[in-house]
């Protein structure tokens, strides 16, 4: 299929984009019902600021700025809009993520065609630009490693940043090569800047965009002989100043000291992270080349590099990385696209795979860096085998179908929290974190039905790592559910002494145990300590409300539970307790409303059904009362 004018090729572009969209919706068709998992709770299901009920500027501003990552306000705003239009119906969140992924595939398709028609590639200009673009977009978008940025709802931060990053680059290309008038160039340059800013407020790693645009200009647009050394030096210096400014923005006036302080909670040093990340860069490449579902994992157990030869692959990776940079230079004249793909891959990983103290490995970090890698690989295939078009097309179709199948299989793992964390524990059996999260997800899914399994999981986690985050606290809560209160107190005292435990969480857990022991004075002290550590700790307000309710102080209980409901999720626990307190105050209609909200949030919440039945009986609805009481009893006896 040969390049023609834009007008003649438009039907091919439309067909290609429709094929991309259809393929992606098919590959992700089993992802729509996947549960909220992991950080989805801290970013979406729990925060009160996400749960907007109107589109006023005040609500939107609060949604955009009200969490621990205030710099990523754009994706948080989209989470709030998702909630406004569909509540916590997970399908709406998945739909938006998939649409963003489809748009990104379309942008990559357009970037591929634009790049293959750059002056620097004129001698090797592809006569089959549309097939190359289609194959690139499909293979990249269908690749199962992308599920970590698409099916994992919170990582809309990654995919949305990529959308504006790619759009910014595309607008720049159009401004430089296609805009016929001065007004047109101003328009597209403005769009480039605005898109770039949107990328940066979606995810901090987008800060490399100016360097990428400069690199694209150098590689593809400006003739090598016309590169102005002074201008180039000035641009590089400007970018260095920009990075320093970004460092001050994110870390304060002394960014290096602030950076080192952030390493304190981690199990690795700055040097160890830098050494390890050289191996991670090549591990990511291996995932691109061999993306079997058995190799994909939310939480990889990646061995730390503590020296050049521990493990020996560290030194080899450093040598290979130097070789990769040198290869980028060597390939510049003869294989410009491949050279740029190396530059693109490394520059887009420089933030998350260098000095910033983050987790060592996450697959979603490959989302943007992999785009031009796939483009260069497909372009090379067409250069080498373009004359054997049927064979090449057949091979690419088979590859795309295999990737689609792998993506579909990987999405099955993301169906529930339990299935996801069982997968993590299976693939990373020495990672304590997986056992803690599996225990938590089992409790959310089945309550007390799996107490023994939960206890074993937390004990295993503490055996692997006594400092695993909140490990002792979770074990203490397990003992509480077993009514082993003395053991629970003992374990939680250990939790207080552990550096990686959330003190607010630990104090609230201790408050619940003292409440069960009817030591209300100590229980209130512990819950208030939890709020002292974290003023918006809605669980602690709920705990205080429950304590006051048991003490017969119903007005005080209602006041605390109202704060909990305002700051936390409209979940079954809070709504049920609000209903109980309202019933105690004689507010039966309010009680019924809260019990109904509790059941709406969790239809399997036995106590809410039972309490609703009692409230119906009080209102004189005997038939409804019998039905709800029976539902509650049946759920309790399961």
CB atoms within 10 A of CB 178: 12
Do 543 and 556 contact (CB within 8 A), yes or no? no
pLDDT given for residue 155 in this prediction = 96
| Cα distances (angstroms) measured from residue 635 to each of 124, 454, 595, 613 | 69, 21, 15, 14
Boundary (domain end) residue, out of 387, 413, 439 = 413
Angle formed at CA 574 by CA 569 and CA 579, multiple of 5 degrees? 135
State the pLDDT at residue 65: 85
User: Tokens for 526?
Assistant: 């512990």
Dihedral sign, Cα of residue 423, residue 428, residue 430, residue 434 = negative
The answer as to whether 354 is a domain residue is yes
In-domain check, residue 149: yes
Question: For residue 48, which of 58, 37, 63 has the smallest C-alpha distance?
Answer: 63
Residue 190: predicted pLDDT = 93
Contacts of 20 (CB under 8 A, 6+ apart): 102, 105, 106, 109, 134, 137, 138, 141
CA distance 474 to 480: 10
Here the CATH number for the domain that contains residue 573 is 1.25.40.10
- Tell me the C-alpha to C-alpha distance, in Å, between residue 162 and each of 107, 196, 526, 552, 590: 10, 10, 44, 55, 46
Last residue of a domain, one of 413, 431, 466: 413
When divided into structural domains, the chain yields a total of: 2
How far is residue 488's CA from residue 475's CA, in Å, rounded to a whole number? 8
Range of the domain at 200: 6-36+88-413
pTM: 0.88
> 441: which 2 tokens?
């997800």
**Does residue 481 sit within a domain?**
no
CA–CA separation, 439 vs 145, rounded Å?
26
Return the exposure string of 520-544: e unless at least 16 CB atoms fall within 10 Å of the residue's CB, then b: beebbebbebbbeebebbbbbbbbb
Q: Are 490 and 472 in contact (CB under 8 A)?
A: no
106, 137 contact by CB (below 8 A)? yes
Q: Is residue 425 part of a domain?
A: no
At 127 the pLDDT is 62
Distance between CA atoms of residues 42 and 79, nearest Å: 12
CA–CA separation, 400 and 28 (whole Å): 14
- At residue 496, the pLDDT reads 85
pLDDT, block means (10 residues), the chain with 638 residues: 55 90 96 92 84 89 75 92 92 97 98 89 66 96 98 97 97 85 87 94 92 91 62 61 62 67 86 96 97 96 95 96 94 91 96 92 97 96 84 94 97 95 96 93 83 92 89 90 92 85 91 95 95 89 95 94 84 90 94 91 86 93 92 82
Is position 300 within any domain? Answer: yes
> Do the domain assignments include residue 248?
yes
Write out the two tokens for 559.
């006041």
Evaluate whether residue 1 is within a structural domain.
no
Which pLDDT value is given to residue 46?
A: 79
- The pLDDT of residue 125 is 52
Residues 220 and 118: their CA atoms lie apart, in Å, by 6
For the chain, report the end-to-end CA distance as a whole number of angstroms.
63
Residue with token string 């169906």: 415
Interatomic CA distance for residues 416 and 29, integer angstroms: 15
**Residues 354, 119: Cα–Cα separation, whole Å:** 34
pLDDT score of 251:
56
- Note whether residue 177 is domain-resident: yes
| CA–CA dist 273, 493 (Å, integer) | 32
Q: Other CB atoms closer than 10 Å to residue 507's CB: what's the count?
A: 26
Among the listed residues 177, 200, 199, the one whose alpha carbon sits nearest the alpha carbon of residue 189 = 177
DSSP letters along 516-563, please? HTT-HHHHHHHHHHHHHH-TT-HHHHHHHHHHHHHTT-HHHHHHHHHH
Distance CA(95)–CA(74), nearest Å, equals 17
pLDDT at 498: 81
């Amino acid at each position: 299929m040969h390049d023609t004018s834009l007008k003649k090729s438009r039907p091919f572009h439309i067909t290609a984009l429709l094929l991309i969209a259809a393929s992606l919706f098919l590959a992700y068709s089993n992802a729509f019902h996947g549960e909220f998992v992991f950080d989805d709770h801290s970013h979406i299901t729990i925060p009160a600021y996400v749960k907007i009920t109107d589109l006023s500027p005040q609500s939107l501003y609060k949604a955009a700025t009200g969490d621990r990552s205030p710099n990523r306000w754009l994706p948080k705003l989209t989470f709030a809009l998702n909630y406004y239009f569909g509540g916590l119906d997970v399908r709406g969140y998945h739909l938006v993520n998939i649409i963003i992924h489809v748009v990104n595939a379309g942008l990559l398709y357009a970037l591929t065609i634009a790049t293959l028609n750059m002056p620097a590639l004129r001698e090797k200009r592809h006569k089959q630009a549309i097939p190359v673009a289609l194959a690139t977009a499909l293979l990249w978008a269908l690749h199962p490693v992308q599920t970590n940025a698409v099916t994992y709802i919170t990582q809309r931060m990654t995919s949305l940043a990529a959308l504006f990053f790619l759009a910014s680059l595309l607008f720049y290309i159009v401004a430089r090569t296609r805009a016929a008038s001065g007004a047109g160039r101003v328009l597209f340059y403005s769009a480039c800047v605005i898109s770039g800013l949107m990328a940066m407020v979606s995810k901090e790693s987008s800060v490399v965009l100016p360097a990428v645009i400069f690199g694209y200009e150098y590689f593809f647009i400006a003739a090598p002989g016309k590169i102005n050394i002074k201008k180039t030096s000035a641009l590089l210096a400007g970018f260095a100043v920009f990075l320093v400014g970004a460092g001050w923005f994110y870390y304060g006036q002394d960014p290096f000291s602030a950076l080192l302080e952030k390493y304190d909670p981690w199990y690795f040093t700055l040097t160890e992270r830098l050494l390890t990340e050289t191996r991670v860069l090549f591990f990511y490449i291996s995932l691109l080349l061999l993306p079997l579902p058995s190799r994909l994992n939310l939480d990889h157990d990646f061995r730390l590099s503590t020296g050049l030869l521990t493990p020996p692959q560290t030194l080899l990776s450093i040598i290979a990385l130097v070789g990769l940079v040198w290869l980028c230079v060597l390939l510049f004249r003869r294989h410009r696209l491949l050279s740029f793909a190396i530059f693109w891959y490394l520059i887009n990983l420089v933030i998350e795979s260098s000095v910033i103290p983050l987790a060592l490995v996450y697959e979603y970090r490959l989302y943007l860096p992999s785009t031009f890698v796939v483009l260069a690989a497909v372009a090379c295939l067409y250069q080498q085998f373009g004359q054997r078009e049927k064979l090449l097309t057949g091979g690419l179709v088979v590859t795309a179908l295999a990737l689609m199948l792998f993506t579909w299989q990987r999405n099955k793992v993301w169906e529930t929290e339990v299935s996801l964390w069982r997968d993590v524990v299976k693939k990373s059996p020495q990672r304590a974190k997986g056992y803690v999260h599996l225990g938590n997800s089992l409790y959310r899914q089945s309550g007390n039905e799996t107490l023994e399994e939960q206890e074993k999981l937390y004990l295993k986690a503490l055996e692997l790592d006594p400092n695993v985050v909140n490990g002792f606290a979770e074990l203490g809560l397990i003992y509480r559910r077993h009514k082993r209160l003395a053991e629970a107190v003992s374990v939680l005292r250990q939790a207080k002494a552990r550096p990686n435990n959330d003190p607010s969480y630990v104090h609230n857990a201790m408050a619940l145990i003292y409440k069960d022991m009817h030591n209300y004075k100590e229980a209130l002290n512990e819950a208030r300590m939890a709020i002292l550590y974290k003023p918006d700790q809605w669980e602690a307000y709920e705990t205080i409300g429950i304590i006051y309710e048991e003490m017969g102080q119903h007005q005080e209980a209602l006041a605390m539970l109202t704060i909990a409901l305002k700051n936390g999720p409209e979940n079954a626990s809070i709504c049920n307790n609000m209903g109980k307190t309202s019933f105690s105050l004689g507010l039966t209609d309010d009680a019924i409303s809260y019990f109904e909200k509790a059941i709406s949030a969790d239809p399997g919440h036995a106590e809410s059904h039972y309490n609703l039945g009692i409230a119906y009986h009080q209102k004189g609805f005997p038939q409804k009362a019998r039905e709800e009481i029976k539902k509650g009893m049946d759920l309790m006896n399961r």
